[in-house]
Amino acid sequence: MEFKHEPVLLNECIEALNINPNGVYVDGTLGGAGHSFEIAKRLSANGRLIGIDKDNEALKAASEKLKDYNNITYYHGNHDDIKEILNELNIDKVDGILLDLGVSSYQLDERARGFSYMGDSPLDMRMDATTGITAKDIVNTYSEEKLADIIWKYGEEKFSRQIASYICEYRKKSPIETTKQLTEIIEKVIPKSKQNDGHPAKRTFQAIRIEVNNEIEPLYNTIINSINSLKEGGRLAVITFHSLEDRMVKDAMVEMQGKCTCPSDLPYCVCGCKSFGKMINKKPIVASIEEQARNPRSKSAKLRVFERKS
């Protein structure tokens, strides 16, 4: 299958990065290179783009899309390790970093990857198919309590307890190995009258995917390390699709922005507050009505931008 992915908030991201043609930029979630293609177009021969992705299929597709540009470095890795990756590439500071935390259209649509509740495929859901636990491991080995917790925490699924209970009952008879099996379990648990807010399996599949790929826990430190990797005036742009992600990104940016706690009548700061820059927008940028109509996956997208200052 061709790696297709319509980049969310494309124009907003390019504007937010404030691209210097001779600068060094990082796309920490390269995917189908939708955002990177527009970044590369704006770079001179002296500029450089680092494309990072956990998914080898994404790297392969991106290198094909960007084949006309010879100032791009492709790196199979995790954006959570951005500090180590830049050190390995002998790069001290960069002019901009983009993180699009959403799963790609290809990953959702490629049935063999097990991301989608449509069809029937092995339960996998790993963005990096070379390592780590699978969705099958989670649904067949996690305790009922732990399953319920992640389905609620990462999926905000009201029927998390009932779904977890039925999963555990089902697997006593035989392992849950396919997306179809899991989808049918969820459909039986959620009453028909409550199945009017998208597909009933959507939230549970999202929760399991987040757990498989450990998408939330390292995010706070990833934002901190990304900001610390920016040059003076460099910008970090982050797109989130989940309330937990957005909260984590916002909290990290607020921390790096710093807040003086001194009384207003003091002539200078004595509280020791250290600021590493500022958030460009008080509220996150969201997709236009037109984009939401064209690309439904943009409806939950939020873009936050941070500018580094020494």
Q: Could you read off the pLDDT of 223-244 as tens digits, one per residue?
A: 999 999 999 999 999 999 989 9
CATH superfamily, with its number, for domain 10-101+216-308 = Vaccinia Virus protein VP39 (3.40.50.150)
- pTM confidence score: 0.87
Mean pLDDT of the chain: 91
CA atoms of 217 and 245, how far apart (whole Å):
9
Average pLDDT for 282-308:
95
Q: Are strands 72-76 and 48-53 parallel, antiparallel or unpaired?
A: parallel
Report the candidate in 114, 118, 78 with the shortest Cα–Cα distance to residue 208: 114
Average pLDDT for 118-131:
88
Write the DSSP assignment of 192-249 as a string of letters. Answer: GGG--SS-TTHHHHHHHHHHHHT-STTHHHHHHHHHHTEEEEEEEEEEE-SHHHHHHH
pLDDT band at 259 (very low <50, low <70, confident <90, very high): confident
CATH architecture of 131-213: Orthogonal Bundle (1.10)
Would you call 282 exposed, middle or buried from its count of C-beta atoms within 10 A (0-12, 13-18, 19+)? Answer: exposed
Kindly provide the residue ranges of all beta strands, DSSP E only, lying in the chain, ordered along the sequence: 24-27, 48-53, 72-76, 94-100, 230-240, 277-279, 285-286, 302-308
**What residue spans in the chain does CATH classification 3.40.50.150 cover?**
10-101+216-308
Query: pLDDT per residue over 166-193, tens digit each?
Result: 999 999 999 999 999 999 999 999 988 8
**What residue spans in the chain does CATH classification 1.10.150.170 cover?**
131-213
CA atoms of 82 and 1, how far apart (whole Å):
29
* pLDDT of 112 higher than 80: no
Report the candidate in 54, 55, 16, 22 with the shortest Cα–Cα distance to residue 35: 16
